[in-house]
Amino acid sequence: MLKYGLYVSLEAKAGKEDDVESFLIAGLAIVNKERDTVSWFAVRSSPSAFAIFDTFNTADARDAHLAGDLAKLLMGRADELFATPPDIQMVDILASKPSAT
């Protein structure tokens, strides 16, 4: 059962919006290699506002993701891409509807 999640708010620097979008789209290939990341979504809510939402069955899986390759790349490019540091929030999932696939 999904119990753990991450919600990461991202605000692109002016002129870096396309770079953030490309970074997030490319990030899917990295996350697809993580067997314990159940779901991962990269979304855009305005021209410069982005977010990542991930789900995990265990706290250990969430911790592993936070120490993984995508997190390292994200933090390594944070000064270049984002107007403010990524706002990483650990969340507890209260209810979910799993994918039919």
Q: Which residue has the tokens 């509807």?
A: 97
Q: What is the pLDDT of residues 34-52, one digit of tens each?
A: 999 999 999 999 999 999 9
Out of 3.30.70.100, 1.20.1250.20, 1.20.120.430, 3.20.20.110, which CATH number does the structure's domain 4-92 have? 3.30.70.100
With H, G, I as helix, E, B as strand and everything else as coil, classify residue 89.
Answer: strand
pLDDT at 100: 65
* For residues 71-75, average pLDDT: 96
Q: What is the pLDDT of residues 7-37, one digit of tens each?
A: 999 999 999 999 999 999 999 999 999 999 9
Confidence of residue 98 (pLDDT cuts 50, 70, 90): confident
Cβ 83 vs Cβ 44: under 8 Å: no
* For residues 59-83, average pLDDT: 97
Confidence of residue 97 (pLDDT cuts 50, 70, 90): confident
CA distance 46 to 91: 23
Total-model pTM = 0.93
Q: In the chain, where are the structural domains located?
A: 4-92
Containing H/E element for 69? Answer: helix 69-76
User: Where are any strands of DSSP class E within the chain?
Assistant: 4-11, 39-44, 49-56, 87-92
Cβ 86 vs Cβ 42: under 8 Å: no
CA atoms within 13 A on the CB side of 99: 5
